[in-house]
A and B are shown apart, each in its own frame.
Chain A
Amino acid sequence: MLTFYRRLYPFKSIFHWLNHEHTPTKLFMNREFAFTLQGDVYLRYQSFTTADELKKQVCAMNPTRFEIGPMYTARPRDKKLARPGAFQPVMRELVFDIDMTDYDSIRTCCSDASICSRCWAFIAVAVKVLDQSIRNNFGYKYLLWVYSGRRGIHLWISDREAMELTDEQRKALVGWMTVIQGGKDQHKKVNLRLSLRQLPPSILDSLEVLVPAFTDIILDDQDCFRSEEGWRELLHLIPKNYVESLEDKWEKDYDRSSHSKWEDVKNEIKTKTQKGSQPRLTGTTAMEDIILQYTYPRIDAEVSKHRNHLLKAPFCVHPKTGRVCVPVDPSTIDDFNPERVPTVGQLLRELDQAKDTGDEHHSDWEKTSLKPYVEMLDKHALELMEEVRRVKRERGQGVHLIRRHGLHALTGRFSDTSW
């Protein structure tokens, strides 16, 4: 682990991404870091003035992982010095957490902690829907998706407006995003509309992604309704008047595929109702709701609601799997295979093999398969920093910045070898 932190972990990139500028600002200096040390000792309210300082401390403590919290009104390590009540979280990336365990009731391939490329498809759909919805509806641009190392994915949004959201506003946003509600003992978990009205516009948009996903994942791949348990669950969601005949049919045809069963439902509604009639509407509405219930992103709402929630830093190593929490490009999310994400052991081996090329170096990650992922974060941070610079320039502070950093600050080569 120590070698990983010392030689591979991209501290500089993380610093840029959190700080939004080259010179350390409050965004970094007042930021809380929390370390999980060996033996599950949890150390909160750490803070650092520079990336070097962070690296030094991480190497000294060698934590199994560390988490990132909000920027506070004062430096977290001076928390005890602050007046009571004056130590408050101010800014924080808007974060989302999607975890495979929330899908346990519908996935058939694995359960609990395990994950395979097949269940990753659920995550892929969630990423597509959320990414599209946040960009279109809320207008945020700087989204960083990070694989959580095992069976989930995190989203960090770094737009200034998103960072400044209050807890109340975060709660509203999460409310907007939450579609699936209700516990184990409630069959129907989607309640979006007043009687048979149209769906809200944002959900309507996401249906475009969800309908094909429903066919691919639920009907074909996961085959959710083949087992008796599966199709009985489905029947709970279908209007009462169709249930009996369907139940008869499926009880007799023991091994009927999910695909055929879904066709049965469709036919049943089509033959029994007139086009444009009220019962037909009831039927199609129910079908839409079923699609949503099986495919709409299930987010862990508590993570997003509060500014002071801590979330594991990108590029940490998941203690159970040994996989690195790497950034993920949402446009190629379908091709992402969590089983191919480099593990820390693999990276260290690669490093050994490359050793003959030179001395120990900070940016040794360039010699390993971590390279594309670090570059992804660098590119993201660079865009973010350019935006911040642009805003500053518009405010007339640009001159000051150029004078301090020279022109290269504007051309933005920060991942150069001087680090």
Chain B
Amino acid sequence: MFSIRKKFVAEVEKHSTLKYPHRLNFYDQPPLGEVTIEEFETCALDRLRILAEIESSFARNRPWEELKRFTLEQCSKYLRLDASSAHKQDTEAQRRKDHLGHFVLRLAFCRSEELRRRFVKAETTLFRIRYEEDDRQEREEFLQSRKFGWESVEPEEVKQYASQLKAAASTYLPPKEFEPNLEADKYYKVPWTRVPDLVERRKVFLKGGKAYVPSKEQSSIVFEEFQRSLEKALLVTLKHLPRLDEDTRIFPLLDNLSQGFLAGVSSEWSSTTSSATGDEITADMVDELSRRHFPMCMRHLHDTLKRDKHLKHFGRLQYGLFLKVLGLSIEEALAFWRRSFSGMTDDKFNKEYKYNIRHSYGLEGKRANYPAKSCQQILLSDQPGPQDSHGCPYRHFSLDNLQTALLSMYSSQGLTVSDLPEVVSTVKSGHYHVACTRVFEITHTAQGLKKGEGVDDGESVTHPNQYASRSRELEKKVKEEMDVDVTVT
């Protein structure tokens, strides 16, 4: 709390009563005031979820409208931001969270060229989504409150240049509209260098170095400004970053956050130890389940275990914890592993493995209840060595092997050769969780899942257990519907 306070506090006394009059924020003032380390982290994590969603939408080439819909859904879950007219909501708190989260992420993402570029892109997109969603009047107020360096063009002037403005409009109007409505359209004057994209495509009328931008294209000025100022601000943040050194709690946290972009944000799975469906599973069921519901990493571990009658340490750890969270009790787990390691004596098993299994259930040693590994952990920590079979196949398999494995594991669930290029190209661009999500979608088309819907409302896979339990839920739903059908007939 302490040194964050030091950073943000300097002017704590200054703030006025209403700190966030607008829903939209250009984030040019850092948040002032005290903040707990928990809040510091949650604000950032929640925002990161949204940005990760935007990133993966780009990676999956979603059309703009779809991207917007999914992002807004995620926003309403993790980062509600209501219009000022929503009196029932505590808009002030929402906006504070939005504000704080943005600045924490700046700290995390200013550190490399690559991170900065991705952060700016995702943030600008988020801003654009909110800008488009914003209430017309509130947006107008927001724009008024900032100096964009534009002047409104007086109606007389519009009349004076009517023919030129019309001619310029003919370059961007939709096909059916030949005549722009000059009276209704508002125009703004800005130095042309502010809208180089419009100038290059001759979409505006230029006079004396000023571009006459119609209100329709006005947003292009706003977005450009947002992006430009954020780029600049990130470089400034980078310069000041070394001063944060004094607080040892912050850097690991920031490291964690910036990695979140690589693997998506780990979802809440780690905290819930019981199976989401609430069903206990038994050792006998695992084989069946693995074929129908497991993500590729677990499927691969299971197959390896069956083939070799053994798994190396990290493989056992990754798979064992996954099964535990899936709902396998300690008794069933012992039975499962004993049966799987069929090539060894009871004595050896009891001596060398039993302790380990009990340990992972929190029954030995320091009795910690270990959570299952998230995608992020699987992707980034304990890289597999030559004899290992743990890890993330999308990341740790060669492309040839990945394709063969995908076909042999999932062709019974509807994955065909024609799906491979898409998956491979996502893998090549480093979006492993996106590739996994896509495979989930493909293998669950029978349950009515469509492309782009992801694991749940467009969310991507961030945890193997999320994959498995969602898969089971979908199956259950289909079964229930069928049951209903049966009883009706």
Contacts and interface: CB of A to CB of B under 8 A. Distances in A.
Interface of A: 136-140, 161, 165, 168-169, 171-173, 175-176, 192-195, 197-204
Given A138-B192, A165-B193, A201 B199 contact: no
8 A-B pairs closest in CB distance? A139-B209, A172-B196, A175-B200, A139-B208, A201-B164, A137-B206, A197-B170, A172-B200
Nearest to A139: B209
A123 to B, nearest CB: 24
Contact of A161 (B197, B199, B209): B209
Given A172-B200, A175-B199, A200-B171, A136 B193 contact: no
A177 to B, nearest CB: 10
A193 B171 CA distance: 7
A198 B200 CA distance: 17
A176 B209 contact: no
B200 A200 contact: no
B359 interface: no
Contact of A176 (B164, B166, B175, B200): B200
A203 B171 CA distance: 12
B207 A176 contact: no
B361 interface: no
A165 B193 CA distance: 8
B209 A140 contact: yes
16 contacts: A136-B206, A136-B208, A140-B209, A161-B209, A169-B193, A169-B196, A172-B197, A173-B199, A173-B200, A176-B199, A192-B202, A194-B175, A197-B170, A198-B167, A201-B164, A203-B202
B301 interface: no
Interface string B180-220: 00000000000111001101111001111110000000000
B14 to A, nearest CB: 31
A165 B199 CA distance: 14
Given A165-B193, A197-B178, A198-B170, A175 B206 contact: no
Contacts of A168: 196
B168 interface: yes
A201 B205 contact: yes
Q: How large is the interface on B (under 10, 10 to 19, 20 to 34, 35 or more residues)?
A: 20 to 34
A193 B169 CA distance: 11
Contact of A194 (B171, B192, B208): B171
A202 B207 CA distance: 9
Contacts of A198: 166-167, 170
Given A139-B209, A197-B170, 11 more contacts: A136-B207, A138-B192, A139-B210, A161-B193, A168-B196, A172-B197, A173-B196, A173-B200, A194-B175, A201-B167, A203-B202
A204 B167 contact: yes
A200 B192 contact: no
B331 to A, nearest CB: 64
A138 B206 contact: yes
Contacts of A201: 163-165, 167-168, 205
A292 B273 CA distance: 73
A285 to B, nearest CB: 12
Contacts of B206: 136-138, 176, 202
Interface in B157-179: 163-168, 170-171, 175, 178
A171 B200 contact: yes
Interface in B133-176: 163-168, 170-171, 175
Given A139-B208, A161-B209, A200 B167 contact: yes
Contact of B170 (A138, A139, A194): A194
A192 B167 CA distance: 12
Contacts of B208: 136-139
A303 B167 CA distance: 29
A268 B164 CA distance: 30
Nearest to B197: A172
A278 to B, nearest CB: 12
Nearest to B163: A201
A140 B208 CA distance: 7
Nearest to B203: A200
Contacts of B209: 137-140, 161
B167 A199 contact: yes
A217 B208 CA distance: 30
Contacts of B178: 197
A151 to B, nearest CB: 29
Contacts of B193: 161, 165, 169
A282 to B, nearest CB: 15
A200 B171 CA distance: 7
Contacts of A173: 196, 199-200
Contacts of A204: 164, 167
Contacts of B171: 193-194, 197, 200
A290 to B, nearest CB: 19
A137 B175 CA distance: 27
Nearest to B211: A137
Contacts of B202: 175-176, 192, 200, 202-203
Contacts of B166: 198
Nearest to A174: B200
A327 B330 CA distance: 92
A203 B200 CA distance: 13
Contacts of B164: 201, 204
A175 B199 CA distance: 8
Contacts of A192: 202
Contacts of A165: 193
A175 B166 CA distance: 21
A200 B202 CA distance: 7
Contacts of A175: 199-202
B205 A172 contact: no
B428 to A, nearest CB: 29
B212 to A, nearest CB: 9
Contacts of A176: 199-200, 202, 206
A165 B209 CA distance: 12
A69 B76 CA distance: 54
A192 B168 CA distance: 11
Contact of A137 (B170, B191, B207): B207
Nearest to B198: A172
A92 to B, nearest CB: 15
Contacts of B175: 194-195
Contacts of B199: 172-173, 175-176
B85 to A, nearest CB: 39
Interface string B44-73: 000000000000000000000000000000
A201 B168 CA distance: 6
Nearest to A135: B208
Nearest to A192: B202
The CB with the most chain B CB atoms within 10 A, among A140, A168, A193, A197, is that of A197
Nearest to B178: A197
Interface string B259-275: 00000000000000000
A196 B25 CA distance: 42
Contacts of B205: 201-202
Contacts of A197: 170-171, 178
The CB with the most chain A CB atoms within 10 A, among B168, B191, B210, is that of B168
Contacts of A172: 196-197, 199-200
A249 to B, nearest CB: 35
Nearest to B166: A198
A169 B209 CA distance: 13
Contacts of B168: 200-201
B228 to A, nearest CB: 11
B197 to A, nearest CB: 7
A80 to B, nearest CB: 25
A168 to B, nearest CB: 6
Nearest to A173: B199
A194 B199 CA distance: 16
A197 B164 CA distance: 13
